[in-house]
Amino acid sequence: MRFDELAANLDQMEGTKSRNELVRILSDVYRAASAGELAPITYPIQGRLAPFFEPVEVGLGERLLMTAIAAAYGVPKEEVVKLNRQTGDLGVTAQRLARPPEHESPSVVDVHSWLTGIAGASGPGSQQQKLANFTALLSNLDATSAKHLVRITLGKMRLGIGDPTVLDALSFAKKGDRSLRPVLEGAYNRTSDLGLIARTLWESGEQGLDALKVTAGHPLRPQLAERLPNPEAVIKKLGMVGVQPKYDGLRVQIHKAGDEVSIFSRNLESWTEAFPELVAAASGLKVESVILDGEAIAYNPESEEYVPFQETTARRRKEGVQQFANQAPLRAFVFDVMFRDGTDLTQLPYERRFEIAQEVLRRSDTLLTAPLTKTDSAEQLTKELLDNISRGLEGVVAKRLDSPYQAGARNFNWVKLKRNTSGRLNDTIDVVLLGYYLGKGKRAEFGAGALLAGVYDADTDEFVTISKLGTGLSDQGWRDIHQRLSSLEVPVKPPRVRSNFVPDVWLKPALVVEVLADEITPSPRHTAGMTADRPGFALRFPRIVSLRTADKKPEDATTVREIQEMFEQQKQRGST
């Protein structure tokens, strides 16, 4: 496949407002692709060169790309800068300035390997080399290809192709319907690598997908927790459980494969560089290979207290990692092990996995197993919950002792219990910002009035609205949020957003915000949970608690199904 053919399809996808249409176009692209072309198509359409967990970046920012555009098209750089101020999109700037190329378009495979080569350049003089190679590539492309190449390089695709859309498109390409979704999803949950899955499906069919196994070094999608309203409900549903404190830190997946240690965040980005003390601790473990799941928390060695979530996440910034490591070193409370010395442990019962985790971590004082108490008594569980809350923790997680590790699943193997404030919602909701209204009066000064917020519909891979948000932030908070939003603004409603509201400015669904509300109410206008014969859901008195930019992708926001369940639980609480 030539790169200009892919680019023409990306243009069509950009023009569509319907998700079904997006899936159709993408499945046509896949149908026309050979096995070797699948990875070089799949990563770039999400603005990447490799799976999310591999930190491969082209390493050319906007300024250098402007230099490349100027050189490729023989125009002064000031002209590029000026035009870019008008278009606000460097891809469109390149498209406008592009000249017809002399040669036929390179193939998708060539473009991908060319960019990968640029990403790999390092050492003295590499910046010049990167620039020269990128300029050469750009001058060989037509205008539409140039637009998409620049966006891929910046990691700023405007298509909103989420992972479920890719999985659907692969299924349609092979079967003409969605029937392959479960097999594809299973393989995806174990490997988190869409390019690998696509190639495997083409080369060895469904059996090949089944044969893709958990591997040290490749993150698997994390198991997630369900909610239940109170300890009685937990014991009634799960019987005997293992109870652990619920730490408010950062989810970490720690991999050791031989001498290599990597650490992944909840959304499977590589955070290895940010956590040197966890890397050192994992390197010292007496195992050939292992995958651990846990929660990392910074603590203050002097006061021996754990520091709050926001301070733990400050680590993400590249600067000052070592300083942080000295001042507030991290510990990880490990609650699971999925792989050890070449063996996949995910199918073992939790009780056994926990024992293995204890064996593996016996001598570490940085990687600690999260304490586990067994009980089938609601009173005992209540006591654990209250104890943990009084120690300043969020609550507890109760786990079925006989459950396997189900990668990517949110189910009743794990149930989180937090403080219950009688009748009110006892948990925060993670919403995605979808748009904003231009503020009036004082608000206008901060650049934004109310925000339009949504949740994720995992069945349709869409974002649906649930609330407008107007409170919870200080004046400075509003300014900060608006600054973050400016890079997410898009001219029209993104294809995966379903909304009856039309905000003044639409946003690419990317920023996740944690909100607390009093209750969930039916709504005739919000699209969350709305069907032909049922109204949607809205939040009553929502207020922003924190920005969850550090560890959640938009698809990790609260789902419609969870909102539905919270609504049911709220009804039950109301009637008792």
| Catalytic residue annotation | 246
């709504």: which residue's tokens?
523
Nearer to ligand AMP, 295 or 384 (CB): 295
Minimum gap (Å) between residue 274 Cβ and ligand AMP: 16
Q: Among residues 105 and 244, whose Cβ is nearest to ligand AMP?
A: 244
Q: Is 455 helix (H, G, I), strand (E, B) or coil?
A: strand
- Smallest gap from residue 462 Cβ to ligand AMP (A): 21
The residue among 8 and 458 lying less far from ligand AMP, judged by its C-beta, is: 458
User: Between 297 and 453, whose beta carbon lies closer to ligand AMP?
Assistant: 297
Residue with Cβ nearer ligand AMP (249 or 454): 249
Structure tokens at 312: 């733990």
| Residue 215 to residue 490: CA distance in whole angstroms | 38
- Longest Cα–Cα distance of the chain, Å, equals 77
Smallest gap from residue 255 Cβ to ligand AMP (A): 17
Name the percent of the chain in helix, strand, coil, to the closest 5: 40, 20, 35
- State the Cα–Cα distance between residues 277 and 275, nearest whole angstrom: 6
Nearer to ligand AMP, 129 or 364 (CB): 364
Across 239-275, b (16+ Cβ under 10 Å) vs e yields eebbbbbbbbbbbbbbbbbeeebbbbbbbbbbbbebb
To the nearest whole angstrom, how small is the minimum distance from the Cβ of residue 59 to ligand AMP?
A: 31
∠ at Cα 84 (81, 87), nearest 5°? Answer: 165
Q: Are the CB atoms for 14 and 25 separated by under 8 Å? A: no
Residue 226 beta carbon to ligand AMP: minimum distance, rounded to whole angstroms: 9
Give dist(CA 556, CA 52) in Å, integer.
15
Minimum separation from the CB atom of position 333 to ligand AMP (A): 7
In the bound state with ligand AMP, the residue whose beta carbon lies nearer, of 370 and 539, is 370
Contact 266, 556 (CB under 8 A): yes
| Helix, coil or strand: residue 435 | strand
Binding site for ligand AMP (CB under 6 A): 224-225, 244, 246-247, 251, 266, 295, 335, 370, 397, 414, 416
> Measured from the CB atom, is 99 or 316 closer to ligand AMP?
316
Token representation of residue 413: 């193997």
Distance between CA 160 and CA 137 in Å, rounded? 25
Q: What are 465's strand-pairing partners? A: 454
CA dist 496 → 123, 455, 548 (Å): 41, 12, 21
Distance CA 215, CA 461 (A): 27
C-beta of 292: minimal distance to ligand AMP in Å? Answer: 12
How far apart are the C-alpha atoms of 529 and 402, rounded to whole Å?
33
491: left (phi over 0), alpha (psi -120 to 50) or beta: alpha
DSSP 46: G
- At 487, list the tokens: 């890079």
| Sequential DSSP letters for 330-362 | EEEEEEEEEEETTEE-TTS-HHHHHHHHHHHTT
Q: Nearer to ligand AMP by C-beta: 89 or 514?
A: 514
Closest distance between ligand AMP and the C-beta of residue 546, in Å? 12
Judged by CB, which is closer to ligand AMP: 468, or 553?
553
- Would you say 150 or 415 has its CB closer to ligand AMP? 415
Looking at 155-213, list the stretches that DSSP marks H as alpha helix, in order from N- to C-terminal side.
Answer: 163-175, 181-191, 194-211
Q: How far is the CB of 363 from ligand AMP (least distance, A)?
A: 21
Within the chain, how many helices (H) and strands (E) appear?
A: 21, 22
Minimum distance from CB of 428 to ligand AMP (Å)?
7
Identify which of 501, 502, 495, 555 has the alpha carbon closest to the alpha carbon of residue 157.
Answer: 495
> Tokens representing 7?
């680019």
CB 234 within 8 A of CB 417: yes
Cα separation, 236 vs 169, whole angstroms: 41
Q: Which residues lie across from 256 on neighbouring strands?
A: 261, 290
Question: Least distance to ligand AMP from the beta carbon of 295, Å?
Answer: 4
Q: With left for phi above 0 and alpha for psi between -120 and 50, is residue 479 left, alpha or beta?
A: alpha
